[in-house]
Amino acid sequence: MTLFRSRFLQAAAVVVLAFCALRFGIQPPVPWSVIKIYLFVVLAAVFIYVSSDSDSWRSFLAPIRSTLVDPDRRVLRGALMIVVPLLVGYYAYSQAAARPEAPPELRAVHPAPPASIQFRGKELSIQGLDNPLRKDAATLPKQVAAGGEIYIRNCVYCHGDNLDGHGRFAPALNPPPANFQDPGTIAMLQESYLFWRIAKGGPGLPKESGPWSSAMPAWEDRLDETRIWQVILYLYDATGQHPRRWEAK
């Protein structure tokens, strides 16, 4: 029981448990980049807790000090002097070793749109633009239905029939197609933003944050203005999301 009262072991147990919970307790697995951030927070919190009063801090340090200086811990000390450098060496090797996979990418999910675009020779101001088809509520169901047809004919192959980015082509694409069901995608954006992304596709992405590897085609060559607005209506209708409105001036 004395062993369990050791501050050092308690702290180590919390860190190990946190690691196991983060690594194995959440499905699908949490990416390593996030696990590292979370473990940093856990380590900091544990350090703060054990050192937030002097008794606890002394108790935490006692086994470390004893391992470093006590003559009867010589064997343990020797073992640690072998094991710790080996672990550090393994970590260095694992970070430096070549892996047969693409490196992780630091992507910007929402590239910044331009203030205006040229659409088939016409200048469209993205800033402040609303979907013109929403003005006539009576025809809205018809427009949504038309948008659905356009989606199924053109978009479903990548974005999927559930609009969740799991289309037939999706496994071949990196980055994967956008998941419209996710509250972090179209629900956060104005409809004019979607218009820009659909009209200009991957080739129309801004210079910053490049190089982009979006496979999204520029649909302005195939869809006219009305049809793009129709498919946007469908995206929001089918996912149950609401487009972001412009702030009142």
Stretch touching another protein by CB under 8 A, among 31-39, 74-82, 133-141, 145-153: 31-39
Residues 6+ apart with CB under 8 A from 186: 178, 180, 194, 235, 236, 239, 241, 243
Q: Applying CB under 8 A, which of residues 176, 201, 218, 225 lies at the interface with another protein? A: 176
- Distance in Å, CB of 169 to another protein, minimum: 14
Amino acid at 110: H
* Bridge partners of residue 118, in order along the sequence: 123
The length of the chain is 249
Question: According to the binding rule CB under 8 A, does residue 238 interact with another protein?
Answer: no
Site for another protein in 72-111 (CB under 8 A): 101-111
**Comparing C-alpha atoms, which of 221, 220, 226, 231 is closest to residue 156?**
231
- Distance in Å, CB of 2 to another protein, minimum: 21
Q: Which residues of 191-212 are buried (b: 16+ CB within 10 A; e: fewer)?
A: bbbbbbbbbbbeebbeeeeeeb
Question: According to the binding rule CB under 8 A, does residue 204 interact with another protein?
Answer: no
Q: Are 125 and 113 in contact (CB under 8 A)?
A: no
Nearer to another protein among residue 101 and residue 221 (C-beta): 101
* Bridge partners of residue 125, in order along the sequence: 116
- Distance in Å, CB of 175 to another protein, minimum: 6
Nearer to another protein among residue 34 and residue 80 (C-beta): 34
- Distance in Å, CB of 125 to another protein, minimum: 11
Cα of 178 vs its chain's centroid, Å: 11
Amino acid at 47: F
Amino acid at 145: A
Q: Applying CB under 8 A, which of residues 20, 132, 168, 174 lies at the interface with another protein? A: 174
Nearer to another protein among residue 146 and residue 177 (C-beta): 177
Judged by the rule CB under 8 A, the positions of this chain that interact with another protein are 26, 28-34, 37-38, 40-42, 44-45, 48-49, 51-54, 57, 101-115, 126-127, 164-166, 171, 174-177, 179, 182-185, 187-190, 193, 206, 208-209, 242-245, 247
